[in-house]
Amino acid sequence: MSSVVELERASDSGRRPLARCTGDTGAFLATAWGRRPVLHERDDPVGFADLLSLDEVDRILSTTALRTPSFRLVKAGEQIPESAYTRSGTTGSRPVSGMVDPARVFGLFERGATIVLQGLHRYHEPVTRFCRDLEVELGHPCQVNAYITPPGAQGLELHDDPHDVFVLQAFGTKSWEVHEAPGEQAREPMRAEIAPGDCIYMPTGTPHAASTQRSLSGHLTIGVHVVAWRDVLGDAMKALEGDPSLEGSIPAGWTSDPEAFARQLAERFGRAGSALAGLDADALAGARLERFLSTRLPLLRGGLSDQEAPEPVTDESRFERREGSVLVLRTRDDALIALLGDRRLEMPAWLEPAMRRIADTPSFRLGELSDVVPDRDSRAVLARRLVREGLLGPAT
């Protein structure tokens, strides 16, 4: 048994990531997801300015000693050698190479190079939060690159990606040409100049090209690595690896009688089918859910600060769910499993009423849990544990 995914608000506009990208999420999932490209024009006052700005790009490149492969430079579709924009140094007594050289990066950008911030979801907190919330909402892993292109630079040639894509225009404008997706009815390419706050969605394998733009442009490309049914069924096949009816080697000399080998193979197909039909689908689905919701990127900002001279935890202490937090509860035998997005906690089953109360209550006074956790010390221990794990923080 599990509860629904609990997410705090994801943006200053109060909207979930998928709604910010697509508007009507129900219509998008019913008519476009995995089927056809769509352009969603800005309808959110925030746009995507909270995720990336030119000033933030400047800060990342000029003050953080970013290292490859977390960034690269390209021009006219060709990679620029790393030696042209990186430098070496030392950290402590150890040599470090591949560090960004801001002066040379900015000089190459002025001469038409595009800056690519790779895996931005790993080191830029607003994008980390947006990416994790989106992948939890979709149930598919996501990654994010950013592309910052100077005016007049040549865009990408026609190509397709091996994953679904959301293109989020953060600042400036960019022109796109989007062809039909695999399986979509033949049509003329969609051509659009997208402005800040606009988003283009493209299913896996959709040919597209970015054209030369008139203004400096920055956009985020979110790659959604869609999990196919074959991947899920692969979990089931792994569960059959210990089935004794499928053990044993194929017969020696089978190459001389392929027809007999085919009959024996068909027999094994039947055994495997029966074994698959006998598997516990709920258990396999639950195992995949636990794996997915315990391996997302961590969101622990504030966890260290909370350790500075912590106030005593009393029944008057107030706590709140951290922004972007995930809490999914599952019961198994005599244990309660709490999935927090980046980790799983195994807790005594008697804590289930308290944890479900916390899942349903964004902010609370600790003493309000007295009816489900009667012991005062146990309430304090639980609160400190959930603060340490990043689910709760002191209420502001």
Q: What's the pLDDT tens digit per position in 207-265?
A: 999 887 788 999 999 999 999 999 999 888 888 887 777 778 888 999 999 999 999 99
Q: What is the pLDDT of residue 13?
A: 52
Regarding the domain delimited by 305-394, which CATH topology (the fold level of the hierarchy) does it fall under?
Outer Surface Protein A; domain 3 (3.90.930)
Backbone angles phi, psi at 124, to 5 degrees: -125, 105
Classify 19 as helix, strand or coil. Answer: helix
Q: What is the DSSP letter of 175?
A: E
The pLDDT value given to residue 5: 44
The full DSSP string for 330-359 is EEETTEEEEE-SS-EEEEEGGGHHHHHHHH
DSSP string of 60-103, one letter each residue: HHHHS--BTTSEEEEETTEEPPGGGTEEEEEETTEEEEEEE-HH
Query: pLDDT digits over 373-389, tens only?
Result: 999 999 999 999 999 99
Non-local (6+) Cβ contacts of 300 within 8 A are 390
Mean pLDDT of 165-170: 97
Identify the burial level of 16 via C-beta atoms within 10 angstroms of its C-beta, where 0-12 means exposed, 13-18 middle and 19 or more buried: middle
Indicate the domain borders of the chain. 17-224, 229-283, 305-394
Cβ atoms 324, 282 nearer than 8 A: no
d(CA 56, CA 172): 14
pLDDT of 307 strictly over 80: no
Averaged pLDDT of the chain: 91
Q: Assess contact for 144 and 119: CB atoms under 8 A.
A: yes
Helix 54-63 to helix 102-110 angle, to the nearest 10 degrees?
140
User: pLDDT value at position 4?
Assistant: 44
- pLDDT for position 311: 80
| Distance (Å, whole) CA 159 – CA 178 | 10
Q: Residue range 156-169: average pLDDT?
A: 93
Q: Give the containing element (helix H, strand E) for 364.
A: strand 363-365
**17-224: which CATH architecture?**
Sandwich (2.60)
| Distance in Å from the first CA to the final CA of the chain | 33
CA dihedral 87, 91, 95, 100 (to 10 degrees): -20
Residue with tokens 């030696």: 83
Give the Cα separation of 169 and 49 in Å (integer).
9
Question: What Rg, from alpha-carbon coordinates, does the chain have?
Answer: 26
**Mean pLDDT for the stretch of residues 21-45:** 94
| Sheet containing 335-339: order of strands | 328-332, 335-339, 344-348
20 Cβ contact list (under 8 Å, min separation 6): 10, 11, 13, 44, 46, 48, 199
Can you tell me the mean pLDDT for 67-89?
93
Decide if pLDDT at 3 tops 80.
no
**Nearest 5°: CA angle at 111, between 110 and 116?**
70
pLDDT at position 8 is 42
Residue type, 365: R
Mean pLDDT of 31-43: 95
d(CA 21, CA 46) in angstroms, rounded, equals: 12
**From CA 226, how far away is CA 214, in angstroms rounded?**
34
Residue 107 has pLDDT above 50, yes or no: yes
Q: 101: closest CA among 61, 56, 150, 72? A: 61
For the question of whether the overall pTM of this predicted structure is more than 0.85, the answer is yes
What pLDDT does residue 7 have?
Answer: 43
Residue 96 is which amino acid?
V
